[in-house]
């Protein structure tokens, strides 16, 4: 009896580890919403800023974030005009790198998409619309699709920045074609599973959101002039809602909570909260706030309040999720990116300011602040929190800060 229980215990542990290793990584954290599950983090940093544990240079030009899997760190960057995947140890040493093809080297050059790792496979999407599946252990190419050529798509002004979404055997991507607007591919061989014409619009820099409802999985994304909801099983378009701006840039992944979707974009457009029907087949507008016009930095939802900065409206804001009521507006630091963990906001401005603030509707209480001096280029990359560290990519450099 004891031996049988012991064997069952071992099987359960092995099964848990296997399932965990197959869970695909996501852009903006384990839930794709910028909120990390870490606890016990510092509530205040030293006066000189959080300790830099290590930094790794020579990682090419780029704006993507690091991904963590298989006890390694995966990052994309560009050398010359060629995109590379750099694989680092958790101590920052380069283990190996491998090219994946031409990267976007025109305006704001460098890699855009963050790698997605699911078990032993890795998926990289270039700024020119080429999706490559590689062995995550050595970079060997398994299959490759030119998304624009194969699915009648077309690139957009500043190069696609979408990070693919993996779910089970499928990988979702947005070619932006009139016929093949959004597609689902078999992630093991790249073959087409379904194609949706959706609204027939160009893609809009957005990483899709997968919402699991009781009766279906819903794929939500932005295209040039609309927010769209598709049935993830077959690609059928269920609803759309108009959302446009001057440059058709909608780079932020929507946020889902308790039957509501918050979708937002910059250049003065703002954000709208949509209420989903129970089966996800329709939406209705709950509220709209034109001040919540973050362009590329995301927002976070914590305890019923949205936090983030604007674009044309440069203030950092807190808004009630249910009503859209504004709780505060602050210009303590420049506009930028936000992620969150353990009741704190990690704010990274486009001026290179890195701040720690309390996530409270009572006011924008910045308790600690430092300046990101290492690295190069724009301060646009989204930070990642992993195992008590804050990882920040600034151009050719990845910085690991101690925050626990």
Residue 50 is part of a domain; what is its CATH number?
2.40.128.630
Is residue 235 a part of any domain in this protein? Answer: no
Is residue 50 a part of any domain in this protein? Answer: yes
The total domain count for the chain is: 1
How confident is the model at residue 199, as a pLDDT? 98
How many Cα atoms within 13 Å fall on the side-chain side of residue 26?
19
How confident is the model at residue 18, as a pLDDT? 46
How confident is the model at residue 4, as a pLDDT? 57
How confident is the model at residue 22, as a pLDDT? 78
Helices (H) and strands (E) in the chain, counts: 2, 33
Is residue 325 a part of any domain in this protein? Answer: yes
Is residue 14 a part of any domain in this protein? Answer: no
Contacts of 231 (CB under 8 A, 6+ apart): 216, 217, 218, 219, 238, 280
Nearest to 205 by CA among 282, 267, 137: 267
Give the mean pLDDT per block of 10 residues along the chain (404 residues).
50 46 91 97 97 98 98 98 98 98 97 98 98 98 98 97 98 98 98 98 98 97 98 98 96 98 97 98 98 97 98 97 98 97 98 98 97 97 98 98 98
Is residue 359 a part of any domain in this protein? Answer: yes
The alpha carbons of the chain give a radius of gyration, in whole angstroms, of 21
How confident is the model at residue 21, as a pLDDT? 55
Is residue 277 a part of any domain in this protein? Answer: no
Is residue 6 a part of any domain in this protein? Answer: no
Which backbone phi and psi does 305 adopt, to 5 degrees?
-135, 140
Is residue 198 a part of any domain in this protein? Answer: no
H-helix or E-strand spanning residue 171? strand 170-173
Indicate the pTM of the whole model: 0.94
Distance CA 138, CA 87 (A): 9
Domain span at 347: 42-60+297-379+381-404
How confident is the model at residue 376, as a pLDDT? 95
Match 């197959």 to its residue by tokens: 22
Distance CA 263, CA 162 (A): 16
- Say if residues 172 and 213 touch (Cβ distance below 8 Å): no
């Amino acid at each position: 009896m004891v031996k049988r229980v012991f064997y069952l215990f071992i099987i359960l542990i092995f099964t848990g580890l296997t399932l965990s290793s197959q869970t695909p990584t996501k852009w903006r954290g384990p839930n794709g919403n910028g909120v990390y599950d870490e606890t016990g983090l510092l509530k205040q940093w030293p006066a000189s800023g959080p300790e830099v544990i290590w930094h790794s240079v020579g990682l090419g030009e780029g704006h993507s974030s690091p991904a963590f899997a298989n006890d390694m760190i995966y990052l994309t960057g560009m050398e010359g005009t060629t995109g590379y995947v750099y694989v680092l140890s958790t101590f920052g040493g380069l283990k190996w790198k491998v090219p994946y093809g031409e990267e976007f080297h025109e305006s704001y050059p460098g890699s855009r998409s963050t790698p997605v790792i699911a078990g032993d496979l890795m998926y990289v999407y270039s700024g020119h619309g080429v999706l490559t599946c590689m062995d995550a252990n050595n970079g060997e190419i398994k299959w490759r699709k030119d998304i624009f050529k194969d699915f009648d798509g077309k690139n957009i002004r500043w190069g696609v920045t979408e990070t693919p979404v993996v779910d089970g055997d499928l990988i979702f991507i947005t070619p932006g074609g009139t016929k093949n607007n959004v597609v689902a591919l078999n992630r093991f061989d790249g073959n087409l599973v379904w194609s949706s014409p959706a609204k027939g619009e160009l893609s809009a820099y957005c990483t899709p959101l997968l919402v699991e409802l009781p009766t279906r999985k819903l794929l939500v994304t932005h295209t040039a002039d609309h927010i769209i909801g598709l049935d993830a099983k077959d690609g059928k378009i269920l609803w759309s809602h108009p959302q446009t701006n001057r440059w058709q840039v909608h780079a932020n992944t929507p946020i889902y909570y308790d039957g509501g979707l918050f979708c937002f974009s910059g250049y003065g457009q703002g954000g709208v909260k949509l209420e989903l029907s129970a089966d996800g087949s329709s939406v209705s507008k709950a509220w709209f706030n034109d001040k919540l016009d973050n362009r590329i930095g995301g927002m976070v939802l914590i305890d019923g309040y949205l936090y983030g900065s604007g674009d044309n409206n440069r203030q950092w804001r807190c808004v009630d999720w249910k009503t859209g009521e504004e709780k505060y507006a602050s210009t303590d630091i420049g506009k930028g990116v936000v992620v969150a963990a353990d009741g704190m906001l990690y704010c990274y401005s486009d001026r290179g300011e890195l701040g720690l603030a309390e996530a409270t509707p009572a006011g924008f209480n910045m308790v600690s602040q430092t300046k990101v001096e290492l690295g190069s280029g724009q301060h646009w990359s989204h930070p990642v929190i992993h195992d008590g560290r804050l990882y920040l990519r600034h151009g050719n450099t990845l910085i690991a800060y101690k925050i626990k």
